[in-house]
Each structure stands twice: as structure tokens, then as C-alpha cells.
């Protein structure tokens, strides 16, 4: 198993926790929580994409580009 899968899961969980904290304090209208909202969304998306691509890379068959038909 690649190190990118657990690392992506950690990023996704940390981003979701930051996002939840920012949503809970949204009524305060503080720039800090607006930045936490943006950062939490970005970290969550980054973690999900990183883990998803790592899983896809590990499960896909190798691609042989030299097996094409030659004239």
C-alpha cells in the first residue's frame, strides 16, 4: 500500500474537522473563520483527490504504449 492513501485520509479528516469548526463559528463573521472555511474545503478536496488517485494508480494495470500497431 502506498503512503499516499493514509496521507490523503489524514488530510481529508483534518480538512473536514477544520471545515466543521469554521461552519460552527460562521455567525461570528470573523475573517479567521472565513479563512478556515476556505482552507478546510481545500484540504478536504486535496486529501480525497490524493487518496483517490493513489488507489487508482495501484489498482490499474500497467499501460504499454509501445504495443500499438505499427504500419
Q: How far apart are CA 29 and CA 15, in angstroms?
A: 20
So what's the pLDDT on residue 14? Answer: 97
Residue 66 lies in a domain: no
So what's the pLDDT on residue 70? Answer: 57
DSSP letters of 25-55?
A: TGGG--HHHHHHHHHHHHHHHHHHHHHHHHH
Residue 68 lies in a domain: no
* pLDDT tens digits along 28-55: 889 999 999 999 999 999 999 999 999 9
Residue 67 lies in a domain: no
Which domain, by its residues, includes 36? 4-61
* pLDDT tens digits along 10-27: 999 999 999 999 999 988
Residue 42 lies in a domain: yes
Amino acid at each position: 500500500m502506498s503512503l499516499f492513501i493514509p496521507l490523503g485520509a489524514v488530510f481529508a479528516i483534518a480538512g473536514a474537522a477544520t471545515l466543521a469548526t469554521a461552519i460552527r463559528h460562521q455567525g461570528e463573521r470573523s475573517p479567521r473563520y472565513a479563512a478556515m472555511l476556505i482552507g478546510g474545503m481545500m484540504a478536504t478536496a486535496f486529501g480525497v483527490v490524493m487518496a483517490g488517485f493513489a488507489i487508482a494508480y495501484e489498482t490499474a494495470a500497467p499501460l504499454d504504449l509501445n504495443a500499438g500497431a505499427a504500419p
